[in-house]
Amino acid sequence: MTATTVCLADVTGYLPGDPVAAAYFTGYPGAEDRLRDSPMFKLPSTRHHVTSGQSNVDLIEQAVQPLLERQGREAIQAVDILLVHSQLPDIPFVGAAGEVAHRLGLHPQWMLDVANGGCASFVHLLELARQILATTDARTALICNAQTAAGQLFTQARVRGLAQAAIPGDGCGVAYLTTGSHGSPLIGLRTRHLPQHAGEMKLVRDDGRKYWEAGEAQPRIGFTQEAVARVLERGNRLVPEVVRELCRDLGKDSTDIDVLITNQPNRLFLDTWRQALGLPPERHPDTFDRCGNLFGAAMPITLDHAVLSGQVPGDALVVLGGFAHAGDYAAAAAIHWKGRA
């Protein structure tokens, strides 16, 4: 049986609204925060926020427009697979995929909303799409990463003054996958689930209420100094480990990577990963200072930005790598870049 070749045919990103300067947070009176000097929360210069009423589906609809223009509306509307990761979900009980399909005129055979994978969810979605494409009669897939938490969660009056609030940004990345030779082949994947760390990242309120319970306290991420230390240790270690494992699968050294695209949590992680893998800055494009931490949308947006800015040469070995949450998942994917199809 001949193995199915799955290709990244196209990728695009969308950033909502005008850039929001760091002063929006630093000039805001807030509670004293012992975490403000942590390397985890060193501020990016700008980030983007969704506007009031702007949903995950709105961002996906905007992000997909260049794909409609480049690939043709008929090709995108004919996709067999639609995979969506939303952060934050707009409605707790209902994913975004159904509304995305309706807005774009899609009728996919496979339609899934994926909750896990976090900041590395783009690789998780690539893996799911590859598995479905390789084992069914599906031939094309659209994968969407929408991030709206920055403008919704971190701008709340009692959260905006905290160190954590200034780091996230909003945006959406979308990729179009095909089988055969239409695009850049996906040549390797490595994933690592670490369920012992699941549940360590928590949404908390100072009054102890659950996020759905009425009250004045506002939900935020439950960071403590101890939790931050654990995340820093795991993140610094996990991403280089899973990238090296992938490179070994390919018979390569990490220094053979032409372009490394990672999630974008903070400058410390970006510097540590690049140095651990022996790569110069020009081979590790990043969007952190411009966009902040885009969570799951960071990889497709950063890849799109790198392609547009000429940082991805033809025949490049492009490796995507990242980790999720407090370290419960790490993943890497390798693409033989042949340009947009």
- Do the beta carbons of residue 118 and residue 296 sit within 8 Å? yes
Is-above-0.95 flag for pTM?
yes
Q: For 261-268, what is the mean pLDDT?
A: 97
- The owner of tokens 């055979």 is 109
- Do the beta carbons of residue 16 and residue 48 sit within 8 Å? yes
Q: Which long-range contacts (CB under 8 A, 24 or more apart) does 273-279 make?
A: 273/236, 273/239, 273/240, 273/243, 273/321, 276/236, 276/240, 277/240, 277/243, 277/244, 278/253, 278/254, 279/254, 279/255
No. of H helices and E strands in the chain? Answer: 11, 13
CB atoms within 10 A of CB 304: 24
Q: Tell me, what's the pLDDT at 32?
A: 59
Domain formed by 187-194+221-336, architecture:
3-Layer(aba) Sandwich (3.40)
Q: Tens digits of per-residue pLDDT, 79-91?
A: 999 999 999 999 9
Alpha-carbon span 197 to 218, nearest angstrom: 25
Q: Tell me, what's the pLDDT at 92?
A: 87
Q: For 100-116, what is the mean pLDDT?
A: 97
Mean pLDDT of the residues in the chain: 95
Pairing of the two strands 20-21 and 329-336:
unpaired
Q: Tell me, what's the pLDDT at 142?
A: 98
CB atoms within 10 A of CB 250: 16
DSSP 168: B
Q: Tens digits of per-residue pLDDT, 306-335?
A: 999 999 999 999 999 999 999 999 999 999
Is pLDDT at 120 greater than 80 in this prediction? Answer: yes
Q: Report the DSSP beta bridge partners of residue 335.
A: 186, 318
Q: Tell me, what's the pLDDT at 2?
A: 52
Q: Tell me, what's the pLDDT at 18?
A: 96
Alpha-carbon span 271 to 232, nearest angstrom: 13
Domain boundaries in the chain? 6-182, 187-194+221-336
Q: Tens digits of per-residue pLDDT, 35-79?
A: 888 889 999 999 999 998 999 999 999 999 999 999 999 999 999
- Do the beta carbons of residue 315 and residue 337 sit within 8 Å? yes
Fold match between domain 6-182 and domain 187-194+221-336: yes
Q: Tens digits of per-residue pLDDT, 293-307?
A: 999 999 999 999 999
Q: Give me the percent of the chain exceeding a pLDDT of 70.
A: 99
Q: For 219-228, what is the mean pLDDT?
A: 91
Q: Tens digits of per-residue pLDDT, 121-148?
A: 999 999 999 999 999 999 999 999 999 9
Q: Tell me, what's the pLDDT at 28?
A: 87
The CATH code for residues 6-182 is 3.40.47.10
Q: Tell me, what's the pLDDT at 77?
A: 98
Q: Tell me, what's the pLDDT at 341?
A: 84
Q: Give me the percent of the chain exceeding a pLDDT of 90.
A: 90
Is pLDDT at 33 greater than 80 in this prediction? Answer: no
Q: For 153-176, what is the mean pLDDT?
A: 95
Q: Tell me, what's the pLDDT at 324?
A: 97
Q: Tens digits of per-residue pLDDT, 2-19?
A: 588 999 999 999 999 999
Q: For 241-260, what is the mean pLDDT?
A: 98
- Do the beta carbons of residue 175 and residue 64 sit within 8 Å? no
Q: Tell me, what's the pLDDT at 1?
A: 39
Is pLDDT at 31 greater than 70 in this prediction? Answer: no
- Do the beta carbons of residue 315 and residue 336 sit within 8 Å? yes
